[in-house]
Amino acid sequence: MTGPTGEPQRIGPAISFRARLTIGLVAGALLPLAGFGLVLIAAQVVTSGAADPTLVRVIVFVLAAALVVTVVFAYLLAANLTAPLRAISRAVERVSAGDLSARVEGAGEDELARLVESHNRLAAKLERRNVELGRILVAIGRTSPRDGLDRLVAEATASARTAFDMIDAWLHLGDPLDVPEEEGVPGESRPVRAILALPDERLGVLTGRLPATRTWDAADQDLLELYASEVAVAIRNVQLFGQVEEQARRLRELDAAKDDFLRGISHNLQTPLTSIRAYAEAVATERPDRRLASIVEQSERLHRIVRQLLAVSRLEAGTLRPRTEVLGLGARVRRAWEALGVPDVPFELSDSTDGWLAIADPDQLDQVLWALLDNAVRHGRGTPVEVVLGARPEEGRVTATIRDAGPGVPEVDRERVFERYGRSAGSAQVEGTGLGLYVSRLLCRAMGGDLVLEAGGLASSGPGGAFTVLLPGEAPTTEP
């Protein structure tokens, strides 16, 4: 028990119950007998003037024998009286260990019987609440934000009826004050309710009716309010999930519209760009002019950007199919470099393929090489560009590594540069669509290869960037 201040309240002296019972029985048996002996001795002294030694010895012997018998009897009686208490103690320990089925049987209507009844009633309530809590956990795990609000409300009311043995249950969304509280009538079903409360909002109220014989105390109400709060969280999750789904749907629609726009604009730009380049080349042939050369160069660059946009739409639509051929990488690299038209940038090509040829789509390979060389020129900021061709016979692949001596790619951006419209932190001021590396990697993978970012560029000139194209290869044929 606890006192008014919450501190443990002592229910007896600092001596065990068995010791107090034994002392009481011994005192109750010996004190009358000792008093009677003293009366006999006093009467002997009054009548004869002196105490009879024999009488004194007899009284002392009787007292000693009575003491022994009384102690034994008191011990046995105390053991018999404390046996039910020990049974209750063991039952309480089992309940505290989680065995809520532990019960104690007792007869009579005394205090001990009432203690047994109180323990059994408490254990039954704990067992019932444990079952209710288990049902609540099952109900919570059965709901999902994808189910929708209507199904969640139906599941919540059904689970409330099952978990709390209700006759009926209702879930009212809105202001809880709109649902008036019902007064309980003795002998009729008991009304209960709990607010669907969140830290910042009240979403509604859960109401129900219990059988008239069903007990309901503060702990049951706390459990119902806990369930109501979990239902409120589930409702809020459904609402948030609906908002996210709607936003995702709108984003998908915008993304689809953007892709349609890119496909349309790519097709519509190709024809006029081809005409502009053709007329500029024809006029430049008849009357050479630096401005016409610039028009041809920029129209070619714009044409390649449009091809990138078109490649993105075709790759994501799954309509791009590579047409593989066996070809040499060296000539393709030199042609792509010449197409860039940057004679003021130092360029070096090293071929260590040892006769290995690449198996790739010529048009797609040209697009990849042009994009990587253009990337090296723009991000290298006029520094030398080096291309190293090699072979990996053990993997059956050929490689082309394009290096520059620019600032390089920060470690945190090594994967982001391959994302759609992805840019590294150091390339914010560099012109470009942000599609070159993204499209190039997809094209390489469509041809059965890959595009990877190496650890560094031209170490002799700066940190730089280095990208390696890996393609399926064909070994050189040997003469018989």
* pLDDT 10s digits, 13-69: 566 667 777 787 778 777 887 787 788 778 777 777 777 787 778 878 887 887 788
**Exposed/middle/buried for 3, CB within 10 Å: 0-12, 13-18, 19+?**
exposed
Q: Provide the 3-class DSSP secondary structure of residue 388.
A: strand
Give residue 43's identity as a one-letter amino acid code.
A
Neighbouring C-beta atoms of residue 230, cutoff 10 Å: 17
| Average per-residue pLDDT for the chain | 78
Average pLDDT estimate for 321-339: 89
Q: What is the pLDDT of residues 425-457, one digit of tens each?
A: 555 444 555 677 888 888 899 899 999 988 765
pLDDT tens figures, 81-91: 777 777 777 77
- What pLDDT is recorded for position 271? 67
Give the pLDDT of residue 133.
Answer: 66
Distance CA 7, CA 154 (A): 47
Tally of residues, the chain: 480
The residue with greater pLDDT, 201 or 262, is 201
Sequence ranges of the domains in the chain: 17-116, 146-244, 246-314, 324-474
Judged against a pLDDT cut of 90, whether residue 74 lies above it is answered with: no
C-alpha angle 465-396-307 in degrees, rounded to nearest 5: 50
CA distances from 291 to 5, 257, 295, 379 (A): 97, 37, 6, 26
CATH code of the domain occupying 246-314? 1.10.287.130
- CATH topology for 324-474 is Heat Shock Protein 90 (3.30.565)
Q: What is the pLDDT of residue 130?
A: 67
Annotate 282-292 with b (16+ C-beta within 10 A) or e (fewer).
Answer: eebeeeeeeeb
> Which residue in the block uniquely carries the two structure tokens 């009311």?
157
**Residue 89 to residue 84: CA distance in whole angstroms:** 9
Residue 374 near residue 340 (C-beta atoms within 8 A)? yes
The rounded percent of the chain whose pLDDT value lies above 90 is: 16
pLDDT tens profile 458-467: 544 456 788 9
- pLDDT for res 424: 56
pLDDT of the residue at 71: 80
Give the pLDDT score at 141: 64
Q: Is the dihedral of CA 217, 219, 224, 228 positive or negative?
A: positive
CA-nearest of 435, 465, 472 to 450 is 472
Cβ within 8 Å of residue 359, ≥6 positions away: 324, 325, 326, 447, 448, 471, 472, 473, 474
pLDDT at 381 (0 to 100)? 79
Instruction: Using the structure block, give the residue that is written with the tokens 């982001």.
Output: 416
- Indicate the CATH number of 146-244 among 3.30.420.40, 1.10.3720.10, 1.10.230.10, 3.30.450.40: 3.30.450.40
> What are 474's two structure tokens?
């064909």
The SS3 assignment for 362 reads helix
Averaged pLDDT for residues 131-154: 73
Residue reference for tokens 């007292």: 63
Instruction: Decide: helix, strand or coil at residue 349.
Output: strand
What pLDDT is recorded for position 470? 94
Residue 49 DSSP code: S
Per-residue pLDDT tens over the stretch 334-378: 998 988 888 888 999 999 998 899 999 998 898 899 889 988 888
Alpha helices in 183-289 (DSSP H): 218-286
The residue among 132 and 67 whose pLDDT is bigger is 67
DSSP H or E segment with residue 306: helix 290-317
Could you tell me where the DSSP H helices lie in 4-148? 17-48, 53-96, 111-142
